[in-house]
C-alpha cells in the first residue's frame, strides 16, 4: 500500500470560501480556548478530587465513541455548509446558557460534564462536515498548505491569544470566558452561512441504503488503506496518552510544580507557540522526509517532551517541553488530516474521517480516567509519564507503515489518491 505525497503544493487564496472558512475556524478556536482552559480551572474550584476533574475531560471525548460514526454518515448525506452553521448556532446557545448558570452560582461538576458532552456531540457532525467541505474550496494540491494554515490560525487564536487571557478574564468574572465563547460560535455560524459552495458531488444512494450500511462502507475504506489504518492505530495510542496528560495538566502545574494559574497559562502558551512553529516549518520536514517519516519523527520527539514534563520539577523545563510537544503535534495533525483528504473518495470523506477520528479518539477518555487514577495513586506528575509510555507504543506501531511512503499517484486496493478521479 502506498501513501500519498503532495509536498510543495500551492498555497490557497485567502479570497472567497477558504478565507471565510479560515475566519470561522479561527474565531471558534479563540472561544474554545477560553472555555477549554476555564473549565478545568472552574472544576478545580469545585472539587479537589483528581478523578472528578479528569471526568470533565473524559466526557469531552466520549461522544466521539458514541456518535462519531453517525456524525460522519450524516455529514455525507446533508448540505455540509448548512450543517456546520446550524451546529455552531446551537453551540452558541448552549454555552450562553452555561454562562448564565455560572453567573447565578449554579455551576457544578455535573453541569460541566454535561456541557462538555453536549458540545462534543455536536462537534462530531461539525468536524466531519468541515473535513469533507475543505476539498471543495481549494484545489487538491493545496490541501496540505490549507490544513497547515487552518491549524496555525487556530493555534494563534486559541493558544497564543485565547488561553493566556483566561486567568485575567476569571479575575474579572467567572462567566466572561463562556460569554466570549458563545459570541465566537455565533460569529463563526454567520461566516459559514455566507459560504457559496455546492459541496462534493454525490452519487445517488442505492435502494435500501441505510446509515448502518453507509457507516460500514466508510470503515471498510479505512480498513483497506494500509497507511491510514496504521496512522489510525498509532493516533489512538497517542490519544490515550494525550487524554491522561490533558486531564492532569492543571493539577501537575498548580499542584506538583506549584506554579499557579500563571504557570498553567505559560504552559498553554508554550504549547501554542510550538504549534505555530510546527505549522510554519512542518512543510520543510515533509519535503525532506515524506509525510509518514515526518509523523514518526513527531511522535518520537513527543516521547522525550513527555518524559521531561513528568520527571523535571521545574516550570522552565515544563514550558520548553510543552513547546516541543506543540511543534510536533502540529506536524502529526496536519499530515494525518491531509492524507485522509487526499486518499478518501470525495463523496465518502465524512465517513472516512468519522471512522478515523472515532477509532483514534476512543483512547482519549480511557487515558483521561487512567490519568486520574495514576495521579491519585502515585502522584500528580505520573500522568505525563503514562502518556510517554503510550507514545512509545504508538511510534512502535507506526514503524511498519514506513515502507508505504512513496509519491503521489500510487494506490492499491482501490484507494483513491490525490491524482485519481473521484
Residue 254: what pLDDT?
87
Residue 416: what pLDDT?
31
Q: How far is CA 138 from CA 12, 133, 146, 371, 375, in A?
A: 6, 9, 8, 40, 45
Whether this model's pTM surpasses 0.75: no
Residue 201: what pLDDT?
59
Kindly list the averaged pLDDT for each block of 10 residues, start to end, along the chain of length 422: 38 72 83 78 77 72 79 80 89 91 84 86 82 79 80 75 71 79 90 75 61 82 82 90 88 88 84 85 81 88 95 93 94 85 75 82 82 88 93 90 49 32 30
The string of DSSP codes covering 40-82 is: HHHHHHH---HHHHHHHHHHHHHHHHHHHHHHHHHHHHS-HHH
Phi, psi of 401 (to 5 degrees): -75, -15
Residue 408: what pLDDT?
37
The CA-to-CA distance between both ends of the chain, in Å, stands at 19
Rounded distance between C-alpha atoms, residue 124 and residue 115, angstroms: 15
Q: How far is CA 252 from CA 159, 197, 246, 260, 369, in A?
A: 19, 46, 10, 10, 15
Instruction: State the residue for C-alpha cell 448540505.
Output: 79
Residue 63: what pLDDT?
80
**In order of start, what are the domains of the chain with their CATH numbers?**
17-195+213-403 (1.20.1250.20)
Rounded distance between C-alpha atoms, residue 316 and residue 51, angstroms: 27
Rounded distance between C-alpha atoms, residue 397 and residue 289, angstroms: 18
Residue 409: what pLDDT?
34
Q: How far is CA 291 from CA 5, 193, 228, 319, 393, in A?
A: 7, 34, 12, 27, 19
Rounded distance between C-alpha atoms, residue 315 and residue 312, angstroms: 9
Dihedral sign for Cα atoms in the order 104, 110, 116, 120: negative
Instruction: State the residue for C-alpha cell 493539577.
Output: 251
Let me know: does 225 contact 415? Beta carbons within 8 Å: yes
Amino acid at each position: 500500500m502506498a501513501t500519498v505525497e503532495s509536498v510543495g503544493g500551492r498555497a490557497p487564496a485567502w479570497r472567497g470560501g477558504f478565507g471565510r472558512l479560515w475566519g470561522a475556524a479561527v474565531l471558534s478556536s479563540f472561544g474554545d480556548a477560553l472555555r477549554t482552559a476555564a473549565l478545568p480551572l472552574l472544576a478545580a474550584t469545585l472539587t479537589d478530587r483528581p478523578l472528578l476533574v479528569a471526568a470533565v475531560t473524559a466526557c469531552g471525548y466520549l461522544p466521539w465513541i458514541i456518535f462519531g460514526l453517525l456524525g460522519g454518515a450524516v455529514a455525507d448525506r446533508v448540505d455540509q455548509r448548512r450543517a456546520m452553521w446550524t451546529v455552531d448556532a446551537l453551540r452558541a446557545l448552549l454555552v450562553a446558557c452555561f454562562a448564565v448558570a455560572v453567573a447565578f452560582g449554579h455551576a457544578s461538576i455535573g453541569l460541566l460534564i454535561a456541557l462538555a458532552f453536549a458540545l462534543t456531540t455536536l462537534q462530531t457532525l461539525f468536524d466531519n462536515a468541515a473535513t469533507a467541505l475543505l476539498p471543495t474550496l481549494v484545489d487538491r494540491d493545496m490541501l496540505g498548505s490549507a490544513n497547515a494554515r487552518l491549524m496555525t490560525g487556530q493555534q494563534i487564536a486559541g493558544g497564543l491569544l485565547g488561553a493566556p487571557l483566561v486567568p485575567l478574564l476569571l479575575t474579572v468574572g467567572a462567566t466572561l470566558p463562556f460569554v466570549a465563547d458563545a459570541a465566537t460560535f455565533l460569529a463563526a455560524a454567520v461566516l459559514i452561512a455566507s459560504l457559496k459552495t455546492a459541496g462534493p458531488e454525490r452519487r445517488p444512494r442505492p435502494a435500501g441504503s441505510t446509515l448502518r450500511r453507509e457507516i460500514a462502507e466508510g470503515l471498510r475504506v479505512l480498513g483497506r488503506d494500509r497507511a491510514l489504518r496504521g496512522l489510525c492505530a498509532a493516533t489512538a495510542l497517542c490519544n490515550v496518552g494525550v487524554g491522561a496528560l490533558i486531564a492532569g495538566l492543571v493539577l501537575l502545574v498548580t499542584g506538583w510544580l506549584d506554579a499557579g494559574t500563571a504557570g498553567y497559562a505559560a504552559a498553554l502558551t508554550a504549547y501554542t507557540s510550538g504549534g505555530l512553529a510546527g505549522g510554519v516549518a512542518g512543510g520543510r520536514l515533509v519535503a525532506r522526509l515524506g509525510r509518514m517519516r515526518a509523523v514518526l519523527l513527531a511522535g518520537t520527539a513527543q516521547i522525550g517532551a513527555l518524559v521531561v514534563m513528568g520527571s523535571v520539577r521545574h516550570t522552565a523545563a515544563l514550558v520548553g517541553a510543552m513547546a516541543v510537544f506543540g511543534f510536533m503535534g502540529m506536524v502529526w495533525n496536519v499530515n494525518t488530516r491531509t492524507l485522509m483528504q487526499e486518499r478518501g473518495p470525495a463523496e465518502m470523506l465524512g465517513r472516512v474521517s468519522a471512522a478515523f477520528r472515532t477509532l483514534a479518539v476512543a483512547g482519549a477518555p480511557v487515558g483521561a480516567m487512567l490519568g486520574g487514577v495514576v495521579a491519585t495513586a502515585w502522584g500528580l506528575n505520573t500522568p505525563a509519564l503514562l502518556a510517554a509510555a503510550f507514545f512509545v507504543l504508538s511510534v512502535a506501531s507506526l514503524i511498519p507503515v514506513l515502507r508505504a511512503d512513496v509519491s503521489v499517484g500510487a494506490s492499491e486496493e482501490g484507494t483513491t489518491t490525490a491524482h485519481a478521479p473521484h
